[in-house]
């Protein structure tokens, strides 16, 4: 497999592979959405099938739920689980304080609900997702379809008083139609370039009528596992203030992700 993966895919793989070391028998685990998180789900499925790991997974999207079932993970709802031991998910950006931008895959609402209902949130990402300041990646906000253009205008007007460099927004599309989330909502992508005060922006956005949730994850992530293209992995624990480095080898016959699209 190592000969087939690009450096960025190797980085995603080793981060995902390292993250499942935190999963223990009997845990209730939140399963993230996105390409890196999907690789993590495959790794967990391998442990379930080959090592007898017993877990219950709470997916953050319909596509993650489908993948989890395919690889043999027992899937339950958050209402059934009530509380989770651990959530493992990806991120579109993270800063030195482990604040995040999420929602590039369109599942930010379920992702935030699941993450905040967990004792611990671990983020897995390649080193390219690390930034000095959040905002280069467009910030997604989930809005209800009713009056979405009015909501968009209100958001752009409000951004004038925020510490951001850009104020344009676009409706996320799926072909010729608006992208629709699992909850039946739309997503506006805010092109801010740089966010000066992410905490303030998150609070202001969520006070607007029509806005369901935003993709800023503030003080939610406890640990980030960063993968590098050469197989190195860093585990950065914000609570313990530690950084642990290791290296994972690639197996040529490992076909865990051979049929997994990005």
How do residues 46-72 score in pLDDT, each as one tens digit? 999 999 999 999 999 999 999 999 999
How far apart are the C-alpha atoms of 207 and 217, rounded to whole Å? 16
List CB contacts of 180: < 8 A, sequence separation 6 or more: 174, 186
Question: Could you list the active site residues?
Answer: 111
pLDDT of residue 1: 43
Which residues make up each annotated binding site for substrate? Answer: 33-36, 89-92, 102-105, 129
pLDDT of residue 256: 58
Residue range 12-58, pLDDT digits in tens: 999 999 999 999 999 999 999 999 999 999 999 999 999 999 999 99
Which residues make up each annotated binding site? Answer: 33-36, 89-92, 102-105, 129
Both structure tokens of 210: 């029509």
Strand order in the sheet with 186-191: 168-171, 186-191, 139-143, 211-214
Q: Report the CATH architecture of 139-215.
A: 2-Layer Sandwich (3.30)
Q: Taking 80 as the threshold, does the pLDDT of residue 260 lie above it?
A: no
List CB contacts of 101: < 8 A, sequence separation 6 or more: 91, 92, 93, 94, 134, 135, 137, 139, 140, 215, 216, 217
Q: What backbone torsions phi and psi does residue 255 show, to the nearest 5 degrees?
A: -115, 30
List CB contacts of 182: < 8 A, sequence separation 6 or more: 61, 62, 107, 109, 110
Q: Taking 70 as the threshold, does the pLDDT of residue 250 lie above it?
A: no
More confident residue, 243 or 5: 243
Decide yes or no: CATH 3.90.25.10 for domain 7-129+219-247: no
Both structure tokens of 107: 């599942």
- Residues spanned by CATH 3.40.50.1360 within the chain? 7-129+219-247
The residues pairing with 74 across neighbouring beta strands, listed in sequence order, are 56
Single out the residue of 128, 123, 129, 105 nearest to residue 16, CA to CA: 123
Both structure tokens of 79: 């209402």
By the 8 A CB rule, do 131 and 93 touch?
yes
By the 8 A CB rule, do 113 and 121 touch?
no
By the 8 A CB rule, do 58 and 26 touch?
no
Residue range 143-165, pLDDT digits in tens: 999 999 999 999 999 999 999 99
With H, G, I as helix, E, B as strand and everything else as coil, classify residue 178: strand
- Residues spanned by CATH 3.30.70.260 within the chain? 139-215
Q: Taking 50 as the threshold, does the pLDDT of residue 73 lie above it?
A: yes
- β-pairing, 56-59 vs 93-94, is unpaired
Query: Residue for token digits 């905040």?
Result: 116
Helix H or strand E segment including 225: strand 223-227
Band of residue 5 on the pLDDT scale cut at 50, 70, 90: confident
pLDDT of residue 259: 46
N-term to C-term CA, the chain:
15
With H, G, I as helix, E, B as strand and everything else as coil, classify residue 134: coil
């Amino acid at each position: 497999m190592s000969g087939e993966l690009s450096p960025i895919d190797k980085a995603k793989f080793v981060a995902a592979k390292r993250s499942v070391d935190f999963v223990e028998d009997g845990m209730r685990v939140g399963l993230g959405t996105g390409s890196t998180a999907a690789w993590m789900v495959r790794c967990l499925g391998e442990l379930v099938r080959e090592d007898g790991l017993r877990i219950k997974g709470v997916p953050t999207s319909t596509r993650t739920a489908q993948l989890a079932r395919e690889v043999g993970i027992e899937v339950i709802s958050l209402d059934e689980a009530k509380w989770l031991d651990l959530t493992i998910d990806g991120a579109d950006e993270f800063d030195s304080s482990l604040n995040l931008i999420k929602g590039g895959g369109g599942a930010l609402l379920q992702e935030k609900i699941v993450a905040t209902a967990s004792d611990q949130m671990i983020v897995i990402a390649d080193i390219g997702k690390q930034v000095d300041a959040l905002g280069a990646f467009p910030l997604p906000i989930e809005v209800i379809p009713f009056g979405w253009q009015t909501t968009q205008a209100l958001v752009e007007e409000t951004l004038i008083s925020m510490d951001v460099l850009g104020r344009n927004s676009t409706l996320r599309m799926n072909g010729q139609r608006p992208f629709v989330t699992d909850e039946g909502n739309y997503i506006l992508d805010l092109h801010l370039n740089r966010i000066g005060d992410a905490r303030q922006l998150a609070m202001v956005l969520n006070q607007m009528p029509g806005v369901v949730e935003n993709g800023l994850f503030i003080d939610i992530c406890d640990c980030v596992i960063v993968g590098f293209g050469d197989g190195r992995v860093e585990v950065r624990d914000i609570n313990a203030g530690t950084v642990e480095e290791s290296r994972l080898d690639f197996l040529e016959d490992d076909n865990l992700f051979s049929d997994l699209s990005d």
